[in-house]
Amino acid sequence: MSGFPASRRGTPLGIWGAVAGIANVIGPLLGGLLTAGLGWRATWWALLPLVGAAALAVVLAVQAGERQGEPASWRRLVRLSVAVPVAAAMLTFTVMIGSFFLIEQYLQDEVGYSALLAAAAPVVVAVFTGAAGPVAGRLTDARGERLPAAVGFAVAGAALGGYGLTGAPLHGPAALPLGVLLGLGLGLLFAPVSRSALNAVPQQLHGQASALISSGRLAGAALGAVLAGAAARAGTGADQVHTALVWAAGLCLLLGVPLATKLREPATIPSTTD
């Protein structure tokens, strides 16, 4: 993203967010297909060629060059400057992955869906997450990071709160409207969070900032899976799922929205070569 000026990075980051949303469709569907066709162990064996292909793509894409060492003070600047975006990214993935995981367990254990059908059920969320990505990018470029991020957490929280209401549909056509709303809310979060992190540090430190954001997302995904697993220990019935989704809504509204208001807007940062 260093090839784009600070005021215009939202648009390409929004496209990247759309790709991430599409990946949330492809991953579970691929896992469902492998589980249905070859058994659950195939989902782990499939990681070997996928990781190999990703590693090869990175090697081919990254130009060789000597990396200049950066003073410890600049590394500390990166950590401090991107602390809020990393927390927001972590929360986004905690809520998203945790909700997906729990709903899929409910659909298999209680409704009787196959692994493939349960994996396909959240597709509407992922599709609208991808659709909202470019819109979020343009909105971020026009209005800054805080507004789209705050709206994203608020919309996602409202959708999860709707699912959390006793008697609210958790599957079938009646559940689709809230799924669309949830996807739109999540899709608004990728571009502003990433742009806030990149614009908070000099261009020379974009690699470190991006790495921290990615680490936050991975940590959030792991935490979401852990929390969903803990919730599932109490059962995967509708009542337990409703309760867990209410907690997820609370995280978005009570933690996510305040975090969004703390995101750093573009500012002039001195170069590391100064």
- Taking the chain (274 residues) in runs of 10, the rounded mean pLDDT of each run is 54 64 71 77 78 74 49 61 90 92 91 87 86 88 91 97 94 94 93 87 82 88 91 90 95 96 66 45
The CA–CA distances, whole Å, from 213 to 163, 166, 220, 239 equal: 29, 35, 10, 34
| pLDDT value of residue 71 | 53
Q: What pTM value is reported for the model?
A: 0.80
For the chain, the residue count is 274
The amino acid at residue 226 is V
Q: Which residue has the tokens 């590391």?
A: 272
Centroid of chain to Cα 29? 18
Taking every pair of Cα atoms in the chain, the longest distance, rounded to a whole number of angstroms, is 62
| 3 state SS of 48 | helix
Centroid of chain to Cα 142? 22
